Amino acid sequence: MFGRRKKNSSAEDAVDAAGEAEQVVDSADADAEGEPERVRLEPEPRPDGPWDASEVREPGEGRVDLGGLFVPGVEGMELRVEVAGDAIVAATVVLQDSAVQLQAFAAPKKEGIWGEVREEIATGITQQGGVIDEVEGSLGWELRAQVPVQLPDGTGGFQVVRFIGVDGPRWFLRGVISGQGAVQPQAAGLLEQIFRDTVVVRGEGPMAPRDPIVLKLPDDAQMVAEGTTQASDESSRFSGGMGQLQRGPEITEVR
- Percentage of the chain modeled with pLDDT above 90: 55
Q: How confident is the model at residue 16 (pLDDT cuts 50, 70, 90)?
A: low
Q: 179 in helix, strand or coil? A: strand
* 166 found inside a domain: yes
**What pLDDT does 40 receive?**
56
Q: In this predicted model, which residue has the larger pLDDT, 255 or 146?
A: 146
**Is position 41 within any domain?**
no
Q: Which of 200, 148, 156, 138 is nearest to 174 (CA)?
A: 200
Q: What is the pLDDT of residue 110?
A: 82
Tell me, yes or no, whether 130 lies in a domain: yes
* In a domain? residue 232: no
pLDDT value at position 78? 93
How many other CB atoms are found less than 10 A from the CB of residue 45? 6
Q: Is the pLDDT of residue 226 over 50?
A: no
Q: What is the pLDDT of residues 162-201, one digit of tens each?
A: 999 999 999 999 999 999 999 999 889 999 999 999 999 9
Give the angle subtended at the CA of 51 by the CAs of 187 and 161, to the nearest 5°.
Answer: 35
Is residue 146 assigned to a domain? yes
* Residues making up the chain, counted from first to last: 255
Whether residue 120 contacts residue 22, with contact meaning beta carbons closer than 8 Å, is answered with: yes
Residue 244: what pLDDT? 36
Task: Output the pLDDT for position 209.
Answer: 92
pLDDT grade for 12, boundaries at 50, 70 and 90: low
CATH number of the CATH domain containing 60: 3.40.1000
pTM, two decimal places? 0.73
Cβ pair 101, 91 in contact under 8 A = yes
Banded model confidence at residue 221, pLDDT cuts 50, 70, 90: low
Residues 29-78: tens digit of each pLDDT: 444 444 444 455 667 777 788 999 999 999 999 999 999 999 999 899 99
| 8 A C-beta contact, residue 66 and residue 245 | no
pLDDT band at 206 (very low <50, low <70, confident <90, very high): very high
Residue 178 lies in a domain: yes
Mean pLDDT of the 17-37 span: 45
Lowest mean pLDDT among 46-50, 90-94, 98-102, 190-194: 46-50
List the single range of 103-107, 176-180, 233-237 with lowest mean pLDDT.
Answer: 233-237
Distance, CA of 220 to CA of 72 (rounded, Å): 16
Residue type at position 193: Q
Q: What is the pLDDT of residue 109?
A: 84
- Which residue spans within the chain are E strands per DSSP? 51-52, 63-65, 69-72, 78-84, 87-95, 98-106, 131-137, 140-150, 156-168, 171-179, 199-200, 244-247
Domain range enclosing 23: 10-29+47-224+240-247
Domain presence at residue 196: yes
pLDDT in the model for residue 23: 45
Span of 19-33, 94-108, 184-198, 200-214 with lowest mean pLDDT: 19-33
Number of domains within the chain = 1
In a domain, 114, yes or no: yes
pLDDT given at position 241: 30
